[in-house]
Structure 1
């Protein structure tokens, strides 16, 4: 009965977390536009950060709950899931992705750089204050470079945001933190009952659950023929996960990095990132390459199950 109770709390709190994140993103986007912020800038800041909000919220809640090893599992697991599962699934379903822009001009070098920087930061099994600052500086550099290199050519349209938007912004933000808190609480209880380490749940259930916004957005974009949006969503989400979700929680406490994450999961994330770059080099990703990505995700899950047994 205890297992069913805490499993129900986990599912319910994760659902609240995802729905509240959706409210927060939409209302913040509308409010930003009402203040005259260019749509492109809103997209790469509010929306991109918003899609990583579930990961950030659960990571901060994990630090306060004394389970800081969940943070690294959350980030690494989400990044692997975004590339291997989200992108792989999209490519297999739509047969191929033809990129309109050459992502090697800006986005892919930043994605590779963030992955390599994370590897060096985590090599000593902890993330200190200086390393957190470096991660956040990397995020600022990415945002500034993106704004300067991709100026919006649309006129800024000013309008008054509805009072409902402000209400949903506050309500969504509050429910995000509440959902994250209960998600971590349920994970702690389930891990004790099942004898499974919290990091395993973070690498699997949390990373999959918090990647649901990316999965939904990417599949909807691909269904409408806007496959480049799906690729951009994966790149932006992984960069924000690496810089913000790994950097910010360390200000609330020390982050411990499990040894097996450094030995297997982190190298796998780096390999997946490099493979993603190689596949997109010719501005085309085909179905067979998507199947290969799904194969890597199966390897990732298989390793998790092996560790849990």
Structure 2
């Protein structure tokens, strides 16, 4: 009964709803955390860094629920390749200056960023699936990563806390958020959460039907259309940061999102059900992810990304998509 045009319309609307609702959800959660007195650093590490990956996580969970567990690995790999090549490449080209990268990102986060890609490759190639034990390792790995970030921030916190406390001591009562503001953020959080649920549900449901109609693998649609769509939050955040010459946010957002995708977006669904990894994914997409991750690692060793290096990322992504669909 459903025509192909209707299925495509539902897919586009569902994906757009998922992405837009995730943006509202992240913004409301960030403001709610600050209104409740949580330190800005904690809000950034937990809510903001995870919020842009909500579309990947929710679409993967609905893939599991609807019996399409093969889309999880494809979604993660496709999103991570899009984050590196499409998002970083676009940011480098659109930035008014060179994208400069802070030392801490290179010394701590970037090795884990590359290591997570190799960990994915090793786990996937061993038996062509992610077992529950491997998924548990991934989730624990992300918990350790968060604990390390929080612990490493404590050295700077006392000085910052003393300075901010002295500056805001007399204004704490007048600057305190009202109950109405908190309830407003809570309402936005609940409503956007509902739309995230609906968007993810209809996106995966239409993806399954479209792949069956076209007689193509669900992983092909997941690694292309779904991956690009769920990477839109990272793309918007990164472009805005690049335009404002905030390279640490632009590049750090991509690095943090890729780490979250492999450790959490693969880990949590993998705890529910073992996740298969197709032959085509292992033969083509996983090597591309490793190549893009290593390229990113070596390019930022001089603490900057030039416009020409941005074009190199975009050319790599154009090649990847061309070979996925058999154009090249």
Question: Could you say which TM-score interval applies, normalised by the shorter chain?
Answer: over 0.9
Structure 2 residue 318 is the aligned partner of structure 1 residue 298? yes
| 1:77-88 paired onto structure 2 within 5 Å | 77-88=78-89
Match of 2:120 among 98, 118, 121: 118
Q: Distance in 1 between matches of 2:112 and 2:45?
A: 14
3-state SS of paired residue (1:37): coil
3-state SS of paired residue (1:103): helix
Task: Show CA shifts across 1:11-61 (max 9, x none).
Answer: 111111111111211111122223322111111111111111000000010
Match of 1:251 among 271, 282, 305: 271
3-state SS of paired residue (2:68): coil
Aligned to 2:220: 200
Q: TM-score, normalised by structure 1?
A: 0.95
Aligned to 1:173: 193
Task: Provide the aligned length of Structure 1 versus Structure 2.
Answer: 308
Aligned to 1:133: 136
Match of 1:270 among 275, 282, 290: 290
Q: Is the 8 Å Cα contact of residues 127 and 250 (structure 1) preserved in structure 2? A: yes
Aligned to 1:220: 240
3-state SS of paired residue (2:149): helix
| Higher helix residue share | 2
Q: Is the 8 Å Cα contact of residues 32 and 185 (structure 2) preserved in structure 1? A: yes
Moved more, 187-196 or 43-52: 187-196
Aligned to 2:177: 159
By how many angstroms is 1:251 displaced? 2.5
3-state SS of paired residue (2:99): strand
Q: Distance in 2 between matches of 1:150 and 1:77?
A: 32
Structure 2 residue 150 is the aligned partner of structure 1 residue 147? yes
By how many angstroms is 1:293 displaced? 0.8
By how many angstroms is 1:106 displaced? 1.4
Q: TM-score, normalised by structure 2?
A: 0.89
Q: Is the 8 Å Cα contact of residues 98 and 285 (structure 1) preserved in structure 2? A: yes
Moved more, 221-230 or 81-90: 221-230
Q: Distance in 2 between matches of 1:42 and 1:54?
A: 19
Q: Distance in 2 between matches of 1:188 and 1:277?
A: 36
Q: What RMSD over aligned residues (CA atoms) do the two structures have, in Å?
A: 1.8
By how many angstroms is 1:102 displaced? 4.1
Q: Is the 8 Å Cα contact of residues 35 and 182 (structure 2) preserved in structure 1? A: no
Q: Is the 8 Å Cα contact of residues 132 and 272 (structure 2) preserved in structure 1? A: no
- Cα distance, 1:105–1:10 mapped onto 2, change above 3 Å: same
Moved more, 235-244 or 145-154: 145-154
By how many angstroms is 1:297 displaced? 0.3
3-state SS of paired residue (1:281): helix
Runs of 5+ consecutive residues of structure 2 not aligned to the other structure: 166-171
Moved more, 224-233 or 148-157: 148-157
Q: Is the 8 Å Cα contact of residues 85 and 313 (structure 2) preserved in structure 1? A: yes
